[in-house]
Structure 1
Amino acid sequence: MTTVDTLITSHNPADPSDVILRIAAPGAFAVADAVERARAAQPSWLHGGAAARSTALAAVADAVDAAAAELAALAVREVGKPVTEARAEVARTSAIWRYYAQAPYEPVGAVHEPATGPGLLLTRRRPHGVAGLITPWNFPFAIPSWKAAPALAVGNTVVLKPAPEATACAVRLAEIVRQALPADVFTVVPGGATEGNALVSCADVVSFTGSTVVGRSVTRAATDRGVPVQAETGGLNAAIVLPDADMARAATHIAAAVAGYAGQKCTATSRVVAVGGALGPLRDALADALRAVTVGDPAAAATVSGPLIDRQARDRVVEAAEGLSVLSGGGPLDRSGWYAAPTLVEKVPPGHRLLHEEVFGPVAVLLPADDLAQAVRITNAVPYGLVTSVHTGDLSAVLHGLDALDTGMIRINAPSTGVDFHLPFGGTKHSSHGPREQGRAALDFYTSSRTYTISPAG
């Protein structure tokens, strides 16, 4: 993907000569206009009632299902997502819209007894107005949907600014969504930093997913304006493996979390902490499992790890492993597109970037720990706290120790990747800012609580 002045050009990361889309970025004034049109459309969208919103969101789910094959193929081509994952993402996208289609019927408040005298005390949640959404390229349909669907369900309108690398996917999603919604209720404005900054400057509520640096900037700008904001940013996720774990199964799970979609997920595993006697068996099993990962054309059904999104991403992964003790992978692949081999390294010196920075690619560090307590300290000793996976055969031995993990999500005997969209999603420290998204938590974020005191006249 390149952005030159106001021109956005989307390239296929598996074949950079394949230009998918070339479009002019609209600029800040166009974003402001889209927000004003969305603001004008919002009262009618809200006051049309729960049944109308529910029916519309269910219709979006049906439209996504009808276009499923086309959408999966577009994700393969534009963002290099392996086709099996792309199909799963599209199925998940329709499920998200269907889940939130029931939300308009949820209670929006409660009735309380007054402390003194007759009357009513009410709490009621109301939408903010226009939700400004800024989304990344790695889940081009699911992330915009899990932000937009709850915002729309509770009566907001939406303006979405997608990552430039996923512009074609966002434009197509908008065409599908608009089939079911009134005009100006859901709008996509393509572009880069100019358009993103403009959206943050005028939306009534802001939700962001992307890099930590940009997320901090978005958070500051929205907070300065006094509007609600949530930001999902980086991850430096660990997998803890105890000696009693099924090593083959643990290695399979971890390899998938390291290398699936070339490690381009905020929930990917980038540190593997082997406890005590697990180190030797896990070293061999995980190196073998990573070597067995199928790297190739994302359109092939067998592919697990496709290309990195662009040359810079590929080079960043390769450079991160240079000069280290490499157990598997460790270099670029000689083929068209931005491919890197799934990589496992060990004996990484303190202070190395892999121990403190998110590389966002298929590379992981193997680290030893004497016991579970030390493994937890290692896991917590980074600026991020999104998700930790723990692999063990004895849950009773680890449940108490896991209370000390400083991560928002803990997955036991499962890969660090994978999200249940009906549950809250988010982390601690630099991984997240603001309320959780997804599940019922999203309905709270996209509304504010009002308290009403109703006393008898006279």
Structure 2
Amino acid sequence: MTGRIALLSIDLQRDYLARRGLMPEAETLVANAEALLGYARSKGWLVVHVRTESDADQVMPHRRDVPEVVAGSAGAESPPELTAVDGESVVIKRFFDPFDRPELDERLRESGVARVVLMGVQSHACIRAAAVSAYARGYDVAIATEAVGSDSPLDGDLALEWLDRRAMTSVRLASLGGVSPAPVMWRHVDPTDRTAILFEVESGSPASVAAAADTLRCRQPGLKELPTAERASRLRRWHDDLNARRPDWVEAIVRDVAKPRRDAEGEVAYGLDLLANVAATVALGDEAPHVARHPHGLVGLITPWNNPFALAVGKIAPALGFGNVALLKPAFPGARIATRLIESLEAAGLADFIAVAQGGPSVGRAVANVADAVSITGSTLAGQQLAGLGGHRRIPVQAEMGGNNAAIVDESADLDAAAVDLAAAMFSFSGQRCTAVRRVILLDSIAEAFTERLAAATRALPIGMPSDPATIIGPVISEAKRDQLLTTIASVGTSGGRLLCGGEDGGLEGGSWLAPTIVDHIDPAHPLVCDEQFGPVVALESVTTFDDALAAHDRTGAGLLGALFSTDEARIARFRRVAMAGILSINRARPPFDAGGPFVGWKDSGFGVAEHGRWNRDVYTRVQAVYR
């Protein structure tokens, strides 16, 4: 190839980088793009910045209701590290294809460009359109795959695969020589004190994930060939070691995720129960003599920050117990506990069969791209994205994706007991549990009386430092999360709702505090009703009949947990028959979860089979029929 090279930086603007679900996440994408931009400048490439801008007359039809990158707004600007410098061209486009603007092709040709390298967003839209148009105009096209992103990552991956077979070649930053993005560091700020940094984590990369996977695959035959009884014995040794240091694990949870002490103690107890159950059941035989089970090989384990001990243990134990090696990708606030858990496996002889991949969603996706099976507990978006990737790769995915859980209270319930039970269950750990009730549906006849009781029970809950054994409600995980919740709460009044209690910091300063908040008379289409907020905010709704209550219970897409407070046996039986949730609880908002029972969400709250108990083997093995 002769001729000059041009770098086209496409739509790297704040509004697009802020989109939910962007993969890789904005920090990683910007770091990679900055490294490539610096390389291009050092080599004398032509650099062209392509930006989308909209105004009242020119806006993409599908964005008319929620306009983005409005001309002159901060959202239309690029981050400072990606802004054009003197001598670099800026091309403004209105729609997907930058070559719709004739001046782009003119600028490339007058500069003698033969090859264009693309970076930016979105892979499935503007990047794809630019690649096809450049190819049609005779340019050699390359896409810097680490410096392009998409908020619909499976569509983005498919677009790049399609282009790779036709109109482009892929360029890795490492292949350019000397291009090394600055490591992406994540700082965990103490939720109780915004001035204190608890720890920092350096994010991994797809390359580091692939290297770890290669190492683990070489070791997997050694674990698979161990007798099942020996694997179970090693899990029991791990259990005994964790149990001996139970107070240390409680302290770690209190410190790292600001979970109140009593909840942290409950988490450690539950995690140990899950581990004991796996050790006791992993060697159980199959249901028929001609059925055999085999480990998948390498499994990806993706865990949330709110249960950093129990859910990690609950996935690691069956993964290793059934003979798999594993890559554990914890959410950032749980990173330090995850590392300690892997280290704790050393004494049990299991540490060589698992590795930690630290990072954000893009690292989780990298794990899923190298795994033979995936188990994830996370947001609905994260679970759906990985379920789509699993379908594309034809690997099993088990996903628990959180819930927007509802409780019904009818006129036969003990209102005083129900109010006390619901308040504690909804707001303990500031509502940061996937099974926390977030919507309470009341029969009209008891709505006023129950609302008064619930508000009083909520105001009585102690807010304080997580280390205090008396504390029920600590801070939310971050200041950003607190601010997002406050913004959502503030919108209640404008939609006709009423704030009954909360909505402020609860009298504490210095951290991400938010008093437990109850709203009512709210529009059923409001985000507090429709979407999981994952914080100490609950919406009340009153209905006329029990049929209406059941309909309201199942109105949202979520289906993890449902509760009914009633002494009417006919209604209880009907609720059990028709309620659309994987976990049902009668007359208690927080059921006593059984380590041997299934944990499963329906609808948008789950994908694949249940986990825990005897269902673990369906997650971590593949079945084989053998006849002779």
Q: TM-score range by the shorter chain?
A: over 0.9
1:279 match = 447
Is residue 64–residue 93 contact of structure 1 (8 Å, CA) maintained in 2?
Answer: no
Task: Find the partner of 2:398 among 222, 225, 230.
Answer: 230
Task: Find the partner of 1:241 among 396, 409, 431.
Answer: 409
Which amino acid is the alignment partner of residue 221 of structure 2? P
1:400 match = 574
**Is there any run of 5+ residues in structure 2 with no aligned partner, and where?**
1-25, 29-182
1:32 match = 210
Task: Find the partner of 2:602 among 421, 428, 431.
Answer: 428
Secondary structure of 1:17's counterpart equals coil
Q: Structure 1: how far apart are the matches of 2:486 and 2:274?
A: 36
Deviation at 1:169, TM superposition (A): 1.1
Q: Structure 2: how far apart are the matches of 1:168 and 1:208?
A: 19
Secondary structure of 2:556's counterpart equals coil
Secondary structure of 1:9's counterpart equals strand
CA deviation string 1:10-43 (max 9, x = no partner): 2221123222222322322221122222222222
Which amino acid is the alignment partner of residue 199 of structure 1? V
Is residue 376–residue 402 contact of structure 1 (8 Å, CA) maintained in 2?
Answer: no
Is residue 342–residue 351 contact of structure 2 (8 Å, CA) maintained in 1?
Answer: no
Is residue 422–residue 438 contact of structure 1 (8 Å, CA) maintained in 2?
Answer: yes
Deviation at 1:210, TM superposition (A): 1.0
1:81 aligns with 2:259: yes
Is residue 239–residue 389 contact of structure 1 (8 Å, CA) maintained in 2?
Answer: yes
Which amino acid is the alignment partner of residue 330 of structure 1? G
Which amino acid is the alignment partner of residue 204 of structure 2? P
Is residue 342–residue 354 contact of structure 2 (8 Å, CA) maintained in 1?
Answer: yes
CA deviation string 1:234-268 (max 9, x = no partner): 31100111111111111111112220100001111
Is residue 203–residue 358 contact of structure 2 (8 Å, CA) maintained in 1?
Answer: yes
Q: Structure 1: how far apart are the matches of 2:405 and 2:524?
A: 17
Q: Structure 2: how far apart are the matches of 1:311 and 1:3?
A: 18
2:459 match = 291
1:117 match = none
Deviation larger for 291-300 or 269-278: 269-278
Which amino acid is the alignment partner of residue 441 of structure 2? V
- 1:264-275 equivalences in 2 (<5 Å): 264-275=432-443
Is residue 178–residue 186 contact of structure 1 (8 Å, CA) maintained in 2?
Answer: no
Task: Find the partner of 1:380 among 539, 554, 558.
Answer: 554
Which amino acid is the alignment partner of residue 619 of structure 2? F
Deviation larger for 126-135 or 8-17: 8-17
Deviation at 1:158, TM superposition (A): 1.5
Secondary structure of 1:15's counterpart equals coil
2:284 match = 106
Which amino acid is the alignment partner of residue 351 of structure 1? A
Is residue 123–residue 451 contact of structure 1 (8 Å, CA) maintained in 2?
Answer: yes
Aligned length: 443
Secondary structure of 2:293's counterpart equals strand
Is residue 10–residue 166 contact of structure 1 (8 Å, CA) maintained in 2?
Answer: no
Point out 4+ residue stretches in structure 1 off by more than 3 angstroms. 2-5
1:359 aligns with 2:533: yes
Q: Structure 2: how far apart are the matches of 1:242 and 1:265?
A: 25
CA deviation string 1:328-379 (max 9, x = no partner): 1122334111011101111002321111111111111111122221110000
Q: Structure 1: how far apart are the matches of 2:224 and 2:287?
A: 16
Which amino acid is the alignment partner of residue 549 of structure 2? A
Is residue 401–residue 601 contact of structure 2 (8 Å, CA) maintained in 1?
Answer: no
Deviation at 1:179, TM superposition (A): 2.4
Give the TM-score normalised by structure 2.
Answer: 0.68
2:544 match = 370
Q: Structure 2: how far apart are the matches of 1:428 and 1:143?
A: 19
Secondary structure of 1:266's counterpart equals coil
**Is there any run of 5+ residues in structure 1 with no aligned partner, and where?**
112-121
Q: Structure 1: how far apart are the matches of 2:194 and 2:573?
A: 47
Deviation at 1:317, TM superposition (A): 1.9
Which amino acid is the alignment partner of residue 605 of structure 2? S
- Report the RMSD for the aligned CA atoms in angstroms: 1.7
Which amino acid is the alignment partner of residue 254 of structure 2? V
Q: Structure 1: how far apart are the matches of 2:287 and 2:295?
A: 13
Deviation at 1:3, TM superposition (A): 6.8
Is residue 274–residue 612 contact of structure 2 (8 Å, CA) maintained in 1?
Answer: no
